[in-house]
């Protein structure tokens, strides 16, 4: 017979793993922002790889927990979806770091400050929303939090249109244009991943309100 303490302990473990995954995603973004804001200091991929692998291990633990340990009333597929989306954040960030390193000579003079601002807001909001799951927040509260991510995602969409428009009408070397286009699209994708995470949290809260 399960004791209430054991039940709460298993739920707590699952929520803690989800929160750890969100924090790893946030760490990867912080590392990326440092690279983008100090382009003359060529980064090592080690930090990005460690963050991605750490999140992958957490994702594996979550998948095992929903099968073997968890007794939470949150549906298994919803947890797995959120976990998968969270893992895609550091995975995409590692790709950006790889592309930045190989094209650094061409792109190091590019101003990425607006991108870093949006990434900062988006990942911070994801962490806060994931932390809310264990508290079982109201639908209106989580929708308001998700609205922030939707707004950021809209701003990221407009930003890529603006930067690409300037890029395509510039006299830059075609190779640099291709390198920057690749980076801009990947940066937008990270914001999209954050939006997806926010949508997954919102779906969970609404479903179990």
Structural domains of the chain, with CATH: 4-207 (1.20.58.220)
Contacts of residue 77, Cβ cutoff 8 Å, sequence gap at least 6: none
Closest CA to 88 of 12, 10, 200: 200
Quick one: which of 133, 156, 150 has its CA closest to 196? 150
Mean pLDDT value across residues 16-27: 95
Q: Is the pLDDT of residue 10 over 70?
A: no
What lies within 8 Å, CB to CB, of 132 at 6+ separation is 141, 142, 145, 201, 205
Q: How would you classify residue 136: left for phi > 0, otherwise alpha for psi between -120 and 50, otherwise beta?
A: left
Mean pLDDT along residues 141-160: 97
Predicted local confidence at residue 70, as pLDDT: 57
103-115 pLDDT per residue, tens: 999 998 999 999 9
What is the model's pLDDT at position 97? 93
pLDDT digits (tens, 9 = 90+) for 70-83: 556 788 899 999 99
Q: Tokens at residue 28, please?
A: 């990867």
What is the per-residue pLDDT for 157?
Answer: 96
- Tokens 């707590």, located at residue: 12
Measured over the CA atoms of residue 169, residue 106, residue 115 and residue 91, the dihedral's sign is positive
Residue 69 predicted with pLDDT over 70 = no
Q: Is the pLDDT of residue 128 over 50?
A: yes
């Amino acid at each position: 017979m399960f004791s209430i303490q054991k039940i709460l302990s298993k739920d707590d473990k699952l929520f803690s793993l989800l929160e750890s995954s969100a924090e790893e995603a946030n760490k990867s973004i912080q590392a990326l922002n440092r690279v983008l804001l100090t382009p003359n200091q060529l980064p090592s991929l080690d930090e990005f790889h460690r963050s991605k692998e750490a999140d992958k291990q957490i994702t594996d633990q979550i998948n095992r927990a929903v099968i073997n340990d968890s007794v939470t009333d949150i549906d298994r597929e919803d947890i797995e979806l959120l976990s998968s989306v969270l893992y895609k954040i550091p995975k995409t960030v590692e790709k950006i770091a790889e592309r930045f390193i190989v094209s650094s000579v061409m792109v190091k003079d590019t101003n990425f400050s607006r991108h870093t601002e949006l990434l900062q807001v988006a990942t911070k909001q994801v962490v806060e929303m994931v932390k809310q799951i264990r508290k079982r927040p109201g639908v209106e509260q989580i929708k308001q939090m998700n609205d922030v991510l939707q707004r950021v995602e809209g701003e990221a969409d407009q930003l890529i249109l603006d930067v690409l428009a300037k890029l395509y009408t510039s006299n830059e070397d075609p190779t640099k244009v291709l390198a920057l286009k690749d980076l801009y699209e990947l940066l937008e994708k990270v914001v999209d991943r954050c939006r997806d995470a926010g949508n997954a949290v919102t779906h969970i809260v609404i479903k179990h309100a």
